[in-house]
Amino acid sequence: MDADFWLQRWRAGQTGFHQSRVMPLLQKYWGSLALPAASRVLVPLAGKSLDVVWLAAQGHQVLAVELSPLAVEQFYAEQGLKPEVRDSAMGRHYLAGNIEFLCGDIFDVDAATLAQCAGFYDRAALIALTPELRQRYVRHVYGQMAQGCRGLLLTLEYTQEQMDGPPFSVPEAEVRKHYGEAGGWDVQVLDRRSILDKEPKFAARGLDSLDTVVYRMERQSA
């Protein structure tokens, strides 16, 4: 999925992936990370997620990265916030309170910025990428985070042949290979549950099973 694909989805209003509530699994498991309140937290491919608002309410300095200017503008308009705006080599920065959106390509975020993040929350990024891009994404983003960084990764698992992504199925073996074996991350499964009965649109696309998995991740070596 290239950049134009996602930009067009936002322009066309094809944003069925946007959730109108905070992700319950985030609320349930975020506390297990025991991150200090003022920690900087990365939210990649954030869209206009309400999860960003929830993380900021916990006292974190949230850095949300989103490709679509339309998504960023809608986020601030819907939250009633008026951000300060500046540009950098990475893209356009929107800052209001402890929420900063970086409107740009996640692959343009530099090493220094990633290393400053003590935590992360990845609900929609990894599963939005093709297998080829996933490996590059993990290497670029998670390969440049500091030792001790920790966060939550949410994935989906289904029979890939039954449905074209995105979202893509990312099996546990792939997560452990990219993050654990090659990336120096400790990978723990916190939750695995079937959600097909709550996602009729996926059943309508031909799936006979759909699981969501929550991982707790911590960087052991950098």
Tell me: is residue 123 an annotated ligand-binding position.
Answer: yes
Number of H helices, E strands in the chain: 8, 9
Task: Please indicate if the annotation marks 172 as binding a ligand.
Answer: no
Q: How many CA atoms lie within 13 A of 150 on its CB side?
A: 16
In 3-state terms, the chain is what percent helix, strand and coil (to 5)? 40, 25, 35
Are 205 and 181 in contact, with CB atoms under 8 Å apart?
Answer: no
Please give, one letter per residue, the 3-state secondary structure of 156-189: EECCHHHCCCCCCCCCHHHHHHHHHHCCCEEEEE
Q: Check the annotation: does 10 bind a ligand.
A: yes
What is the chain's Cα-based Rg? 17
**199 annotated as a binding-site residue:** no
Which amino acid does the sequence have at 108? D
Nearest to 49 by CA among 65, 34, 25: 65
Please give the annotated binding residues, written as ranges: 10, 45, 66, 123
In the annotated binding site for S-adenosyl-L-methionine, the residues are 10, 45, 66, 123
